[in-house]
Amino acid sequence: MTSNYPVERTAVITGAGSPRGIGAAVARRLAAHGWAVGLFDRDGEQLAARAEELRSSGARVVPAEVDVTDPDQVDAGATAVEAVLPPVLAVVNVAGISDPTKFVDTDLARWNRVMTVNATGTFLVMKRFTPGMVGRGVGRIVNLSSTAAQTGGGTYSATAYAASKSAIEGLTHGAALELAPTGVTVNVVSPAVIDTDIMGGRITDDRRPFFVAGLPVGRLGTVDEVAAAIEFLVGPDAGYITGAHFNVNGGARIG
Tell me how far apart the alpha carbons of residues 62 and 44 are, in angstroms, rounded to a whole number.
12
**DSSP code for 243:** S
Q: Is 161 a catalytic residue?
A: yes
| Nearest alpha-carbon partner for 114 in 163, 51, 70 | 163
**DSSP-derived secondary structure for 82-148:** HHHSSPEEEEEE---------GGG--HHHHHHHHIIIIIHHHHHHHHHHHHHHHHT-EEEEEE--TH
3-state secondary structure at position 2: coil
Tell me how far apart the alpha carbons of residues 152 and 119 are, in angstroms, rounded to a whole number.
16
Q: Which of 5, 156, 161, 240 is catalytic?
A: 161
The DSSP H or E segment spanning 178 is: helix 159-179
Tell me how far apart the alpha carbons of residues 135 and 132 are, in angstroms, rounded to a whole number.
5
**DSSP code for 50:** H
The DSSP H or E segment spanning 20 is: none
Question: What amino acid is encoded at 74 in this protein?
Answer: V
Residues assigned a catalytic role: 161
